[in-house]
Structures are given as C-alpha cells and as structure tokens.
C-alpha cells in the first residue's frame, strides 16, 4: 500500500475520532508503550531444548506443519522474524526447558542462571526484555502430580526446580533493569474421581509457601489456574478458586489464561473483580475453540472485551499481556504475527473508545445513547489508525505481511527437515 494513501486515510480518521473526543496521536503513543510478552513456545510446539522428550502434562499441540524450530539459533531467528512484522517493542517469555544446557543433560533441580546467560545477552542485544516460566511438564518425575505429590521426594524435586527458576527470573530482572514476570503453572490433577481433594491442595499450598519464601526485588510471581488438563479431567489441584484465594492472601499476581475457564465465562469480567484484591494480573491471551485448544488469537469479541476492560479499569500499568497458543498446523511464524497483531488491534480499539461520553450517558441513565455509541464505535475508522501504527513502526501494513511470512518460509523454514 502507498504511504500517501495510508496518511490520507489516517488524517480523515483522526478528524473523525476528534469529533467524538478522541486524540488518535495520544492513542498511538499509548499503544506504542504496551509490550506484549511473546511466548517462545509457539515456534517449536512447546518442545524446548532439554532432551527431545514428548510433550506431556495435560497439554498437547496438534498438527505437523513443516518448519518447527529445532535449536536455539532457529528459535531466535524465528522470534526476530516474527517481531519484524509486529509493530512496537515486545518482551520474550521463556520456559525453563529453553535453557542452553551445552549438549549435556541438566535436570530440572540443577538449573542455574548460567543456563540462560546466552538468552540474557541476546535479549540485551535485541533490546528485548525477558519473562520466565518454570516447567513441570514433559519430565519423568512429572506424572499426574508434581508440587502436590504425596511423595515428599518428588514434591521436593519440583519445589527445588521452581525455587531455582525464581532465582533465574531474579537475575533476568536485575540485568534488564525491569522486573521479570515469572509464571507458575502446573498440571497436577486426576483423571478419575479422587477422594483426596483437600489433601493435594494442602500439599500444593505448602509447596508454594516454600517456593515463595525467598523475597526478590527484580522478579514478580504469578500463578495460573485451569479447568482441567488432557487425561486429568476429574480434578485440578490448582483450580481457579485455589489460586484466587492464594494470590489474594499472599499478594501474588494472578495469571488469566483465556482458555482456562468454562466456555461461556467472561474473562474480561474478572479484571475488575481481581484487581481490587491482587496487585497485578498477567494474561495468557489465547483462543479456546470449544475447550482449551490453544488456537491462534484473533480479533474476536472475547479478546476485544478483555482489552476494553483493561482500558476501562485504567489498569494498563497493572496488567501484563502475554500470549499463549501453540498451533502446529499452520506456518508458526505467521501464527505469531496473526495472534500478536490481533491482540494489538483489540488494544487499539479499546484505546479509541470515547469512554468519557459513554460514561456521561451512563451516569445520566441514557441507556439508548450508550448502546448506540458503542455500536457506532465498531465502524469508526480504527483500521486507518492501525495502518498508521504499522507504517510508523516500519512493519508491513495490512495483509502485506502474508508474502513476507511466505518468503521466510521459502528461504528458511522449508530447509528444515
């Protein structure tokens, strides 16, 4: 698309938005300052570099599209390629299994900051900040239970792993001069009926207390619940209620994965409810299709509602926006780009909302006027503002990223067998 056309369309949009009291320049500035935390695991189907063992722990990738990243160099190249098509500056979210273990086997209770030295240096060179995750899946000691395992030896192993991960996150945060957000998700649960719901939850609570006993200044902890994992359908130790209670009492961040709730539940509604009781939120923006299927995020009502709630709550500085999907059935770089840009498009529309007028209507009991303006907002020329955002950031505008992804596939991905 010609730059002049984008500029002309933007000027018209700018006037159109000014008429409803919105300054598009301010909005573009705000959007520029919102980093996404890009999930490194989209590029290699959550495999990591530890041992090549199969993905386990209640999650699964489906599809075998060619071109999966097989090592750290390929993963980094893919992330940079994706980032070159996503406007703005973004963070990278690593899992412990993506450490550089020097060809040997480093067990999870032995991991150290030095295994992430390469990542920290690379991230600094790229001007990219890091977030982190402990990894309790895909490991021989990770059956149905980890931190909630009745066997003290197994529990201790995972406590040690997670404690070490916090130390790594602390080092990342210290080096980048900005807190590293460390997420804790475990799959612990039961395939069939358990008669010990309380027991496993007591054990998990105790393990968490041991893990969080060390205070840190440069990392922040978050805890992620879910409804159930594959093969663990009857009971999830770390349920939503469990972690909400834990995080509220202990002042931890709650991670909301948009796939981890009952399909008709609104994740957007949780933002205001939780922010009154927990310090911050972390998001795993995903697209559940009938269940926690981890499809690529798109610009749908759910994502839009979620972004609108963050803006309406004035909570952009208390919500960390990460992505979490793993689609192995399509070009993985394209998947990164589509999901990231979709999330940003939702954020942009949330920022372009004439909230002042809408709230004036609401306060005056003008229900029709509120509804009418909300409806009209849907067709205001937000896309012209989006195109301008891409143009100013030097990334492909509109569908221009499709041939760019195809080109990378031809040049790079298709050579991986």
**What is the Cα 333 distance to its own chain's centre?**
16
Residues that bind ligand RNT (CB under 6 A): 41, 46, 59, 133, 185, 224, 226, 257, 284, 292, 324
Is 122 an active-site residue?
A: no
Residue (129 or 284) nearer to Zn ion, CB: 284
Is 292 an active-site residue?
A: yes
50 binds, among ligand RNT, Zn ion, none (CB under 5 to 8 A by kind): none
226 binds, among ligand RNT, Zn ion, none (CB under 5 to 8 A by kind): ligand RNT
Is 284 an active-site residue?
A: yes
Structure tokens at 366: 């003008």
Question: What φ, ψ does residue 192 adopt, rounded to 5°?
Answer: -115, 180
Residue (46 or 168) nearer to ligand RNT, CB: 46
Active-site position among 185, 188, 252, 387 = 185
Residue (171 or 224) nearer to ligand RNT, CB: 224
Question: What φ, ψ does residue 285 adopt, rounded to 5°?
Answer: -80, 125
Residue 303 beta carbon to ligand RNT: minimum distance, rounded to whole angstroms = 16
Residue 282 beta carbon to ligand RNT: minimum distance, rounded to whole angstroms = 10
243 binds, among Zn ion, ligand RNT, none (CB under 5 to 8 A by kind): none
Inter-residue contact 298 to 342 (CB < 8 Å): yes
Residue (226 or 252) nearer to ligand RNT, CB: 226
In the complex, residue closest to ligand RNT by CB? 185
Is 156 an active-site residue?
A: no
Is 26 an active-site residue?
A: no
133 binds, among ligand RNT, Zn ion, none (CB under 5 to 8 A by kind): ligand RNT
46 binds, among ligand RNT, Zn ion, none (CB under 5 to 8 A by kind): ligand RNT
Is 387 an active-site residue?
A: no
Residues that bind Zn ion (CB under 5 A): 257, 284, 324
Residue 95 beta carbon to ligand RNT: minimum distance, rounded to whole angstroms = 6
The H or E element containing residue 93 is: strand 91-95
- How does 5-17 read in b/e, with b if 16+ C-beta sit within 10 Å? ebeebbeebbebb
Active-site position among 260, 295, 308, 320 = 260
Active-site position among 45, 96, 294, 409 = 294
Is 382 an active-site residue?
A: no
Residue 258 beta carbon to Zn ion: minimum distance, rounded to whole angstroms = 9
Residue 417 beta carbon to Zn ion: minimum distance, rounded to whole angstroms = 30
Please calculate the CA angle 223-224-230 and round it to the nearest 5 degrees. Answer: 145
Q: Any residues with CB less than 8 A from the CB of 292 and at least 6 apart, and which?
A: 226, 227, 257, 259, 260, 286
Is 257 an active-site residue?
A: yes
Beta strands in 129-218 (DSSP E): 130-133, 180-184, 189-190
Please calculate the CA angle 326-327-328 and round it to the nearest 5 degrees. Answer: 115
Residue (285 or 384) nearer to ligand RNT, CB: 285
Q: Any residues with CB less than 8 A from the CB of 376 and at least 6 apart, and which?
A: none
Is 29 an active-site residue?
A: no
- Of the candidates 49, 96, 45, 100, the one whose C-alpha atom is nearest the C-alpha of residue 68 is 45
Question: What φ, ψ does residue 273 adopt, rounded to 5°?
Answer: -60, -45
Residue 133 beta carbon to ligand RNT: minimum distance, rounded to whole angstroms = 5
Active-site position among 171, 221, 257, 280 = 257
41 binds, among Zn ion, ligand RNT, none (CB under 5 to 8 A by kind): ligand RNT
Residue 108 beta carbon to Zn ion: minimum distance, rounded to whole angstroms = 19
Interatomic CA distance for residues 186 and 223, integer angstroms: 9
Residue (171 or 257) nearer to Zn ion, CB: 257
Residues with catalytic annotation?
185, 224, 226, 257, 260, 284, 292, 294, 324
């Amino acid at each position: 698309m010609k730059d002049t056309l984008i500029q002309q369309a933007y000027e018209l949009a700018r006037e159109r938005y000014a008429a409803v009291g919105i300054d598009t320049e301010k909005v573009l500035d705000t959007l520029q300052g919102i980093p996404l935390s890009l999930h490194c695991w989209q590029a290699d189907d959550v495999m990591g570099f530890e041992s090549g063992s199969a993905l386990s722990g209640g999650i699964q990738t489906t599809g075998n599209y060619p071109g999966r990243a097989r090592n750290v160099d390929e993963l980094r190249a893919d992330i940079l390629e994706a980032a070159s098509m996503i406007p703005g500056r973004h963070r990278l979210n690593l899992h412990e299994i993506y450490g550089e273990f020097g060809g040997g086997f480093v067990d999870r209770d032995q991991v150290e900051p030095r295994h992430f030295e390469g990542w920290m240096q690379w991230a600094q060179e790229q001007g990219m900040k890091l977030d982190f995750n402990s990894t309790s899946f895909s490991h021989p000691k990770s059956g149905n239970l980890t931190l909630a395992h009745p066997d003290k030896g197994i529990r201790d192993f995972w406590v040690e792993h997670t404690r070490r991960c916090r130390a790594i996150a602390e080092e990342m945060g210290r080096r980048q001069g900005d807190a590293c957000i460390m997420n804790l998700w475990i799959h612990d649960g039961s395939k069939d009926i358990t008669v010990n719901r309380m027991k496993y939850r007591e054990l998990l609570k105790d393990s968490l207390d041991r893990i969080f006993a060390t205070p840190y200044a440069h990392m922040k902890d978050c805890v992620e619940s879910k409804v159930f994992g594959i093969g663990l359908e009857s009971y999830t130790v770390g349920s939503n209620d469990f972690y909400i209670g834990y995080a509220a009492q202990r002042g931890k961040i709650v991670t909301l994965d948009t796939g981890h709730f009952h399909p008709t539940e609104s994740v957007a509604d949780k933002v205001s409810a939780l922010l009154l009781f927990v310090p911050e939120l972390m998001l795993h923006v995903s697209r559940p299709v009938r269940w926690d299927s981890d499809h690529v995020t798109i610009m749908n009502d759910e994502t839009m509602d979620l972004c609108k709630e963050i803006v309406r709550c004035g909570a952009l500085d208390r919500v960390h926006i990460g992505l979490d999907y793993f689609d192995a059935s399509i070009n993985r770089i394209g998947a990164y780009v589509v999901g990231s840009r979709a999330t940003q498009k939702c954020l942009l529309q949330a920022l372009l909302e004439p909230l002042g007028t809408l709230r004036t209507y609401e306060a005056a009991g003008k229900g029709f006027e509120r509804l009418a303006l909300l409806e009209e907002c849907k067709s205001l020329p937000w896309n012209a503002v989006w195109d301008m955002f891409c143009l100013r950031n030097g990334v492909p505008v509109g569908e221009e990223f499709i041939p760019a992804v195809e080109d990378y596939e031809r040049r790079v991905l298709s050579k991986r067998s």
